[in-house]
Amino acid sequence: MGIDIVSENPKKFAVVIWFNGKLERKGEFTLPRLIRYIRTKKPDIVAMDSITELGEDLKFFLRSLPEGTKLVQVTGKPGEQKSLWSLAREYGIRTGGDKFDPFEEAKISALLASKGVGYEVLAFEDEVLITVTRGRSQGKGGWSQDRYRRRVYNLVQAKVRQIEDILRRADIPFDLEIEERDYGVSKGEFKVYASREELAGLVRPMRGGDVEIRITPVERKTLEFVPLKAEVEIEKRKSIIVGLDPGITVGIAAVDLDGNVVAVYSEKNMALSEIVRFISELGHPIIIATDVNPAPGLVEKIARSFKAQLFVPRESLKVEEKNELLRNLGITVDDDHQRDALAAAYKAYLRYKPKLEHIEARLKESGLWTKRNEIKALVLSGYSLGEAIMKVKFQEKPRMEKPKEKEVSEVDVTPYMEKIKELTKTIAELERENKELRAIIEEQRKIIEKLERKLEEFDENIRARILKEREIKARDERIAMLEKKLKEEKEKVEILAKKLAQMRKMRWLELSGKVYPLKIIEELTWKGLEKAEKEFEIKKGDILYIINPAGAGKKLGEYLVSKRPRAIISRANLPFSIYELLMEERIPVLLENTDIEVIWLDEFAVVKRDELETAIKKRIEEWEEEKREKELESVLRVIEEYKIERIKELVRKAEEEGQ
């Protein structure tokens, strides 16, 4: 909605609406009727060329706006304002002939605001006071005074706890002060760090009952002006990355887009507006960073207020990592809050550093080195590199300046008729010249419109070419990835084909009935067993051939026993601990060239069936014989020990009788 003042007394405004691509002239409104109309329509923006037109009614007007409606001064913030008509030419808005028509000015204000031009006027902090107190007094009759107070204070306490629970579940930061009485709570006051829009639907005001809830926005000490579009500030101010550590003591740190430290600061009990003001004085924040995950609510709120990107680390930064970041910077800080804030800002810079270096490399080639910080800031704000470059190039093109109005000097009227005639002739010549200049201006305007259309077409062609290049690059990357995957799959197929041929040959040898194929284990280690398992599955009844048994332990022997092979053939003696395990489980262990001969057929090792059966039988018989001998030795040892003990006992008895 665009508005412009028509008259001062009574105060009336011209109203024009821009909605769904259509302009609609609504007429003249007095201030009370205008406020009622705005509350009914609830526009996103109420735009005007100067808020001074509201005069003393400005604060009342701002308080009367519905939730979500912004008041925007399209000509800029005080001290940096531009002419409404020069802005219209700059953004290609056609204007009518009468510059003093309030409806024309209201129309231009609405169209400029729709393009994101202008500054939002802020009269209130992003803080709200919620006060919960008792409502109506007791009045005559009814319950006794004590019973009434007890009931009301309990209701106030319950409502305070309810609001506290709602704010905690909504993750909205707040401070709470309560006044307690004998029977409960008489008053609760919340200082909520959120706007009225964020509280909408969560907490509602209440009046007229036993409990009263008042919601009051906190008024700013001075009006503040915030740009509708962040790139406006990018053009004018230094872009920075800000780290925040919220709490009772707030830590603030800032680095520029080259990684240089701009400021490190901490202070107790800083209000939200003071934090925002301090950051604004340093520069324009592109990124607001925190050192913890998830991000605190206050950090998210400040990022939204600056329309900045929020950086949250994948995991909360540890103290060691923060100290390491500060050592890399070569900077010492006064306290932990400054350390946490600076670590967050520098961590965010390091995350985006490769992208920033890539941008600088591209800008050196394109001759836009002097605009590198502005382009880097636009890319971090969400633009692609191509879009940011085109935007900066477009801004560098000379814009039409408003021609200076010729000063008209006062004519000293003289009684001389000749002088009057001369002046009349001069006026006629000037009018003719003015007419010719108007024709030239109209022609130039048409040329400018034609060139602007060509520029838009050129922009579209450039954008289409960039998109095509992106698609080609993505396609080439996918082709390279698929080729790599195909190569890997071919290698897998070759390995599987080789294994299949091996298995078939082994199976053929096994089915021939004359020989047993051996499954070869090159080294009796976990790595060697893993390799063997990959080449062929070790299963119950296999004949295993171990080439190098050195270095094996008891755990590996238990693994071999669990596989239950029929026999194990080894080139050298197995470690004694493994040999004992296998002997206990009656898994025959045969020594190559001593107990049995191993025959090599190309890559395969085999043993003759009859020789293997004989060797296995022989080894089992040997072990059984050893077992019997050990048992006999054990029995004889027990008998011998019994004899000795018996002799000792007889000697002792004889000695006792002799005494």
Domain termination residue (choose one: 58, 92, 117): 117
Return the number of other C-beta atoms located less than 10 Å from residue 419's C-beta: 13
Would you state the pLDDT for residue 97?
65
Closest by CA position to 327, among listed 342, 305, 307, 348: 342
Any domain includes 599: yes
Distance, C-alpha 476 to centroid of its chain: 29
d(CA 202, CA 166): 7
The domain spanning residue 370 has which CATH number? 3.30.420.10
Question: Is residue 387 in a domain?
Answer: no
Q: Of 168, 201, 222, at which residue does a domain stop? A: 222
- Identify whether 491 is part of a domain: yes
Residue type, 457: E
User: Does residue 566 belong to any structural domain of this protein?
Assistant: yes
Residue 509 lies in a domain: no
Distance from C-alpha of 659 to C-alpha of 283, rounded to nearest angstrom:
116
- Is 201 in contact with 219 (CB distance < 8 Å)? no
Which residues are within 8 A (CB) of 420 and not within 5 positions of it... i.e. 6 or more apart? 413, 414
Distance CA 454, CA 475 (A): 31
The residue among 222, 255, 275 that closes a domain is 222
Q: Residue 125 and residue 195: Cα distance in Å, rounded?
A: 8
pLDDT in tens, 508-527: 666 566 778 888 888 888 88
Task: State the Cα–Cα distance between residues 49 and 199, nearest whole angstrom.
Answer: 31
Name the one residue in this structure whose structure tokens are 């740190």. 253
Q: Does a cis peptide bond (omega within 30 degrees of 0) precede residue 10?
A: yes
pLDDT digits (tens, 9 = 90+) for 210-238: 889 998 888 877 787 877 765 455 555 68
3-state SS class at 33: helix
Answer yes or no: do 253 and 339 share one domain. Answer: yes
CATH code for the domain in which residue 152 is found = 3.30.70
Residues 522 and 428 in one domain: no
d(CA 215, CA 194): 12
pLDDT (tens digit per residue) in 345-397: 999 999 888 888 888 877 776 666 667 778 888 878 777 777 677 766 665 55
Stated as kind and residue range, the H or E segment containing 46 is: strand 45-48
Measured distance CA(632)–CA(638) in Å, rounded = 10
pLDDT of res. 505 = 66
Q: What is the DSSP string of 343-376?
A: HHHHHHHHHHHHHHHHHHHHHHHHT-GGGHHHHH
Instruction: Let me know whether 258 and 351 are in one domain.
Output: yes
Q: Is there a single domain that holds both residue 107 and residue 138?
A: no
pLDDT in tens, 462-506: 878 888 888 888 898 899 999 999 998 888 888 777 766 666 666
Tell me the one-letter amino acid at 553: G
Is residue 238 domain-shared with residue 317, that is, in the same domain?
A: yes
> Is 34 part of a structural domain of the chain?
yes
What's the rounded mean pLDDT across residues 329-355?
90
- Rounded CA-CA distance 72/67 in Å is 15
- Sequence letter at residue 75: T
Residue 265, in any domain of the structure: yes
Do both 362 and 467 map to the same domain? Answer: no
Task: Name the band, by pLDDT with cuts 50, 70 and 90, for residue 602.
Answer: low
Enter the tokens of residue 572: 């050298």
Those residues with Cβ within 8 angstroms of residue 474's Cβ, 6 or more apart along the chain or in another chain: none
**Helix axis angle, 417-512 to 385-396, nearest 10°:** 170
Choose between 568 and 411: higher pLDDT: 568
Closest to 125 in 3D by CA, of 230, 276, 265, 281: 276
What is the count of structural domains for the chain? 5
Q: Domain limits at 202?
A: 126-222
Give yes or no: residues 260 and 373 share one domain.
Answer: yes
Considering the domain architecture, whether residues 542 and 480 belong to the same structural domain is answered as: no
Residue 395 lies in a domain: no
HEC assignment per residue over 471-533? HHHHHHHHHHHHHHHHHHHHHHHHHHHHHHHHHHHHHHHHHHCCEEECEEEEECCHHHHHHHH
pLDDT of 111 above 50: yes
> Could you tell me if 65 and 88 lie in one domain?
yes
Q: How far is CA 496 from CA 294, 400, 508, 542, in A?
A: 48, 74, 18, 21
Q: Are residues 191 and 269 in the same domain?
A: no
Same domain, 360 and 235: yes
Pairing label, strands 567-570, 543-548: parallel
Confidence at residue 412, expressed as pLDDT on a 0 to 100 scale: 41
The mean pLDDT value for 427-455 works out to 82
Predicted local confidence at residue 413, as pLDDT: 40
For the chain, how many helices (H) and strands (E)?
Answer: 18, 21
What confidence score (pLDDT) does residue 344 get?
93
Helix residue ranges, H only, 74-144: 84-90, 102-114
Task: Say whether pLDDT at 532 is over 90.
Answer: no
User: What is 204-216 written as a DSSP string?
Assistant: --B-SSSEEEEEE
Orientation of helix 372-380 relative to helix 385-396, angle to 10°: 130
Model confidence at 601: pLDDT above 90: no
Per the structure block, which two tokens stand in for 609? 């069936």
- Which H or E run includes 584? helix 576-584
The answer on 361 and 234 residing in a single domain is yes
Strands (E), 208-337: 211-227, 239-245, 249-256, 261-268, 284-289, 309-311
Distances (CA, A) of 287 to 77, 247, 532: 23, 20, 55
Reported as a pLDDT band with limits 50, 70 and 90, residue 161 is very high
Check if the beta carbon of residue 341 is closer than 8 Å to that of residue 252: yes
The CA distance from 57 to 456, in Å, is 43
Integer Cα distance of 91 and 470 in angstroms: 30
The alpha carbon of 443 is separated from its chain's Cα centroid by a whole number of angstroms, namely 52
pLDDT category at 419 given cuts 50, 70, 90 is: low
b/e for 130-145, b at 16 or more Cβ within 10 A?
bebbbeeebeeeeeee
Cα dist. 139→142, 149, 155, 211, 614 in Å?
Answer: 8, 12, 18, 15, 115
Q: Which helix (H) or strand (E) holds 452?
A: helix 417-512
